[in-house]
Structure 1
């Protein structure tokens, strides 16, 4: 079964909008795990506009499933990951002012940098994944960075699927096949939702994990967090 990792950034955004500690990020993570999710994802950014660096430190000893920390590997981020040693680190080349992640790595252009960073994480026992666009050449190049997995950036698929164009899955199928050929694990994330997750999962061979935050939290406003998580788990089986 493809694992569901829930990104809790939006819960932190809601907390930060009012100040204080409601909703409580730690309780949310524990509840999400209790509802059956197999992982917790956070994406701290330098301005701490949602998940704060201290949240990561507080979550590390609490999360009992897979803990995935995403982010741009600037020094502050690297130090945070090495300090807390999550199950997985997902490297994302997002600018500091980016509203959300909007592009994958050029694994050819940034190979030397990625090799250096990934080596340090793997020496500390942390599984690595890099965020890539649905370009088979980038997946093929990713293996030369030493990464364990790639995370396919799924916004393009989600947009086309919403328009009724199922052919938007084709580049992802090709990427997944390339990843399997070169020995890379496959994760996916961005704009996946209850509406498109089953189609995506059913068509992507070897899909190990999906990371879902914005859609899942938005859907939970109407149907409740436990109900929505159970729906995702059912669709991913």
Structure 2
């Protein structure tokens, strides 16, 4: 109900009350006739207002509004929670041997089917538990690294991530990153969940820490 409708309705009701009062207070026939006409006119306006009010959508209850807001905010809050958990993954000091555990943690926290880490030559360095088509994913990731190199040679902005949707409705996210002088790609596969190009960004910090320790070792 809009404020204008409320004001008009209140004015109409007030006018009706005043009209009834004057109808009883004034004794003259002309005055009574004028009041009757005014009362009928006010009644018509009230009926019109009631029709307008009936056409207004009902105001949802507070709990319904809360539920709708929670539904709209849920994906954003969930994405923020996953990002915090990915960036907070702890990296052990085991060098290359820690990478599978790290990829398992990324897959579990973000809900990926499997995660593969590969180098710039297209060779897989590590994969999460139960990962399938590891070599194929690493080879595809190397293809995107080649595209990034071509973009650099053409003085174009370097692509950093790519999301691929195949005919089986499987989505694969390839995220390229650099540690020292070496380039790597982390690839994540998901079914039934839309992947944004930046979905793996929070996981880059623990990956970079693990690979830096590997380089030092």
Q: Structure 1 length as normaliser, TM-score?
A: 0.25
Higher relative contact order, chain-length normalized (CA < 8 Å, sep 6+): 1
* Larger fraction in helix: 2
